[in-house]
């Protein structure tokens, strides 16, 4: 194999160039979604920006690299959705599915401390339902249907954070604190679950082997992460509401 071909394969399978392409492709997916003007297409375009990179890593049997790439994708989604919503909140109100409704729900929570975010009897069933549906979609479709769902969740969460920052006296700090720590744990857990549960279908269709030992360990940690997310949210949400209210300056 030539040195140049070896270099290209190294870059595709684990080199530093791949995260850059994931970020650039994700940013481009928002630009195309903006031009197309069809909200339902945005998560599909977001998925198209990253799915091939996950498959390429799994094809090499490297679950860790696949997870790392999808974490880069999730970060790119979060940053892009947040900054776009900060700059053009009226646009993303309609561009992101459920964006306006989630923004209204979370703004009410920030202002009053009342709502699902501080009520375990409301948020636990919803989060379990999301996790169950996401897992089923990943397992049944090799991630093809689960990743758009993940993009929808990331986009409306980013919309809440970006629009909150736009209305805040301290935008930069609000962008940081608006991504609640329990939500970050949940995002990481969803990413890991999505990669691991996508692997069975993809490996059968592609005829490649997976490091199942690593996959099982990662899945166990992700399930623990979902439990930690619920515990953190139940304990910290009331205090986080007061912190956000002070930072935003309402």
What pLDDT, in 10s, does the model give residues 145-197? 999 999 999 999 999 999 999 999 999 999 999 999 999 999 999 999 999 99
Opening angle at CA 6, ends 22 and 9, nearest 5:
25
Opening angle at CA 228, ends 224 and 232, nearest 5:
175
Q: Per residue in 21-68, pLDDT tens? A: 999 999 999 999 999 999 999 999 999 999 999 999 999 999 999 999
Q: Per residue in 90-137, pLDDT tens? A: 999 999 999 999 999 999 999 999 999 999 999 999 999 999 999 999
* Residue 193 to residue 16: CA distance in whole angstroms: 24
* Residue 53 to residue 51: CA distance in whole angstroms: 5
Three-class SS of residue 5?
Answer: helix
Three-class SS of residue 171?
Answer: helix
Residue 19: closest CA among 76, 71, 69, 79: 69
Q: CB-hemisphere CA count at 13 Å for 32?
A: 16
Three-class SS of residue 43?
Answer: helix
Count the Cβ atoms, other than its own, within 10 Å of residue 5. 9
pLDDT above 80: residue 83: yes
């Amino acid at each position: 194999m030539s040195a140049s071909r070896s270099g290209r394969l190294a870059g595709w399978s684990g080199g530093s160039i791949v995260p850059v392409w994931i970020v650039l492709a994700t940013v481009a997916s928002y630009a195309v979604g903006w031009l197309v003007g069809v909200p339902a297409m945005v998560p599909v375009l977001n998925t198209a920006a990253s799915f091939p990179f996950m498959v390429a890593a799994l094809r090499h049997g490297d679950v860790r690299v696949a997870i790392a790439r999808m974490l880069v994708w999730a970060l790119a989604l979060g940053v892009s959705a947040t900054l776009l919503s900060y700059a053009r909140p009226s646009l993303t109100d309609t561009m992101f599915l459920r964006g306006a409704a989630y923004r209204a729900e979370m703004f009410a929570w920030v202002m009053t401390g009342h709502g699902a975010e501080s009520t375990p009897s409301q948020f636990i069933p919803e989060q379990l339902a999301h996790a169950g549906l996401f897992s089923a979609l990943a397992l049944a479709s090799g991630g093809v249907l689960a990743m758009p769902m993940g993009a929808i969740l990331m986009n409306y969460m980013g919309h809440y954070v970006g629009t909150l920052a736009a209305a805040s006296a301290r935008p930069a700090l609000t962008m940081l604190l608006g991504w609640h720590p329990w939500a970050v744990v949940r995002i990481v857990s969803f990413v890991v679950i999505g990669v691991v549960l996508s692997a069975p279908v993809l490996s059968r269709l592609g005829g490649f082997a997976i490091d199942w030992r690593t996959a099982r360990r990662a899945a166990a940690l992700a399930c623990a992460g979902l439990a930690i997310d619920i515990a953190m949210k139940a304990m910290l949400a009331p205090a986080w509401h007061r912190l956000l209210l002070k930072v935003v300056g309402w």
